[in-house]
A = this chain, B = another copy of it.
Amino acid sequence: MATAKQNTKRRQEQIAQATLALVAEHGLAACNVAAVARRVGLVPSALYRHFRNKDHMLDAAVEVIQSKLLDNVRAVCARQTHAIERLHDLLQQHVQLIKKSRGIPQVIFSPDFYVDRPQRRARVCDGIRQYLAAVADMIREGQATGTIRPGLDAETAAVLFLGLVQPSAVLWNLSSGKFNVARHAEKAWPLFVQILTTG
């Protein structure tokens, strides 16, 4: 039962990850302090040395998601230069993220996270907007270099890009993993490319 002592920085990370994993796997309701503590290998009260209260743990969990999303954007931008390639790569990364950290998008879309918690709502809203803005930027770059047709509204297309993966993520979850997210993405991608290019 006794775990080796770790410093607060390390523990905070562990707790944030455990919180996120619990919410993703068993839902917000099942994510209680005792369960988080068990997962970290501590006693419930021990968590309060590292976080003021449960709310702060959930905030930290949200941060983890945000950074993963934006990490994807950065990685893709570093890896690809061509706009459409970038978008394709990002789509695949997003799919991987969903499959790896199961349920992360659902966490974001879970209203219970936000009711009576306007700051967190604003925080997440901002994170998604940043993601959308990054996608829109990629599209505009493509327009600038002539690979994407100029008439297209970048913002609308960016939201649609999210729509490429979001419904299938939901289906994947509801079907307990039977729906093939990656395959749907592969099949939907050409349709999206058509929107980007054909006019």
Residue ranges of A at the interface with B (Cβ–Cβ < 8 Å): 24-30, 103, 106-112, 114-116, 118, 121, 124-125, 128, 152-153, 156-157, 159-160, 162-168, 170-171, 173-176, 184, 187-188, 191, 194-195, 198
Contact = CB atoms under 8 A, between A and B. Distances in A.
Contacts of A194: 194-195, 198
A21 B125 CA distance: 23
A24 B114 CA distance: 12
B156 A187 contact: yes
Nearest to A23: B111
**Interface of A (DSSP majority class):** helix
A188 B164 CA distance: 13
Contacts of A153: 187
A15 to B, nearest CB: 21
A191 to B, nearest CB: 5
Nearest to A173: B111
A25 B162 CA distance: 24
A165 B157 CA distance: 12
B156 A109 contact: no
A188 B110 CA distance: 24
A187 B156 CA distance: 7
A187 B162 CA distance: 15
Contacts of A171: 125, 128, 159
25 contacts: A27-B112, A27-B115, A28-B28, A28-B29, A30-B116, A106-B110, A108-B170, A109-B109, A109-B110, A110-B112, A112-B112, A121-B176, A125-B174, A128-B170, A152-B191, A156-B191, A157-B191, A159-B167, A159-B184, A160-B167, A163-B163, A163-B164, A166-B166, A166-B167, A191-B195
A174 B115 CA distance: 10
Contacts of A118: 176
